[in-house]
Amino acid sequence: MSPGVVDYLFRQLVSGRPAEDVAWEREGISLAAQPEGAELARRLAETDLDALTPTELFHYVRAAQRLASWAEGLRQSALGRYCHAGVDAPRPGRRSI
């Protein structure tokens, strides 16, 4: 655990509050509820992993997995359209007559 997480957990223990940080859930949409897309990707990219508690890290990993699956679905869809394009569709490196 990073020193920041240890410090946070110590402060929670001393104040009598639970070790889990639930304040971030009240500040906006949680990673678990964030729809897949550019905003989720931005939030994941800007997150300081060393500052996450184990539970937050778990939610981070799950959100990253959801984003990867979503992106793979986009790729598969685009690949399917490319491979099944009509005969008249232009293809790279092929000249029209």
pLDDT at 9: 73
Q: Where are the domains of the chain?
A: 3-80
Of the candidates 56, 58, 50, which has an alpha carbon nearest to the alpha carbon of residue 5? Answer: 50
pLDDT at 55: 85
Write the DSSP string, 57-69: HHHHHHHHHHHHH
C-alpha–C-alpha distance, residues 64 and 44, integer Å: 7
49-86 pLDDT, tens digit each:
988 888 889 999 999 999 999 999 999 999 999 998 76
The tokens for 30 are 């949680």
5-48 pLDDT, tens digit each:
677 777 777 888 766 655 555 667 888 889 999 999 999 999 99
Cα angle value 48/42/22 (rounded, 5°)? 55
HSE (CB half, 13 Å, CA atoms) of 18? 6
- In the block, which residue shows the tokens 């500052």? 51
pLDDT at 94: 65
